[in-house]
Amino acid sequence: MAEAIPAESSTVTTPPLDLSHHSSQESGGIADAGANDNAMPSPGAAGDSNQAAIAAGPPDKPDPRPAKARVEKMQPRILPLLGKPYFACVVCRSHIQPPFQVVVPRSLAPFLPPKPAPATLTWQGRSWEMRFTGGRPIQRLDAGWRSFAVDNALRLGDGCVFELVSGEGEGVVFQVQVLRAEIPARIRERAGGYNSSSPIVIEEE
């Protein structure tokens, strides 16, 4: 069951008062100042209020960007596929915890080297080097995958799409896209998903 996301809080800033139309009252205010000396706060009280204002810090400013721009910052723009072989996976615990590896489906074997080879993953203008364990019963991306997972803050339930840009020669290149799941932390802790064959269970609270 989808969980409602609380609306983004906003800060209302009170505009400064325009005192120009009160100039006629200034003389009266000054004349009465001596009579109201006893009503003025003591230096200690003023110091306390100043300290409270400093501790609170300046008021938060509303984000001037439109809502669409704020969403795109959280969820990177999705690029169209290039029409090449690809596979997708939902991030499980073995992707983001030891042994830090991704199993590549056997259906891609005809397009990949039949032996271990260097692999490169690209995303958002960056690249990560790792190893592809080709020619084995279970072929994986490892020995470098951890850096990709950590650098991109992958979390349980995120989706990754790996499109094979190049599988010829001595190396493999995948173009990757990460789709954020935004599962709350309190749910991720007990959601399962220990490996690719273990489901992620999201229970209603």
In this prediction, residue 187 has a pLDDT band, given cuts at 50, 70 and 90, of: low
Q: What per-residue confidence (pLDDT) applies to 196?
A: 54
Helix (H, G, I), strand (E, B) or coil at 110: helix
Beta bridge partners of 90: 159
Going by pLDDT thresholds of 50, 70 and 90, the confidence category of residue 38 is very low
CA distances in angstroms from 140 to 96, 107, 183, listed in the order given: 14, 13, 26
For residue range 102-157, list pLDDT tens digits in order: 999 999 999 999 999 999 999 999 999 999 999 999 999 999 999 999 999 999 88
Is 185 or 202 the better-scoring residue by pLDDT? 185
Q: How confident is the model at residue 177 (pLDDT cuts 50, 70, 90)?
A: very high
Enter the tokens of residue 12: 């209302």
- Which three-class secondary structure state does DSSP give residue 13? coil
DSSP β-bridge partners for residue 35: none
Pairing relationship of beta strands 116-123 and 172-179 according to DSSP bridges? parallel
Least confident stretch, 9-13, 37-41, 79-83: 9-13
DSSP per position, 59-78: PPPPP-S-HHHHHHHHSPPP
Residue 115 backbone phi and psi in degrees, to 5? -150, 165
Which domains can be identified in the chain, with CATH numbers? 81-188 (2.40.330.10)
Pick from 62, 58, 111, 107: nearest CA to 84: 111
Is pTM beyond 0.85? Reply is: no
Report whether pLDDT(85) > 90: yes
Q: Is the torsion defined by CA of 161, 166, 171, 175 positive or negative?
A: negative
Query: For residue 100, is pLDDT > 90?
Result: yes
Predicted local distance difference test score (pLDDT) of residue 32: 44
Averaged pLDDT for residues 174-189: 77
- 59-78, pLDDT tens digit by residue? 445 555 554 444 444 555 77
> Nearest CA to 174 among 129, 115, 110, 116?
129
pLDDT band at 79 (very low <50, low <70, confident <90, very high): confident
Q: What percent of the chain has pLDDT over 90?
A: 40
Which one, of 196, 154, 148, lies nearest residue 179 by Cα?
154
Higher-scoring residue by pLDDT: 18, 134 = 134
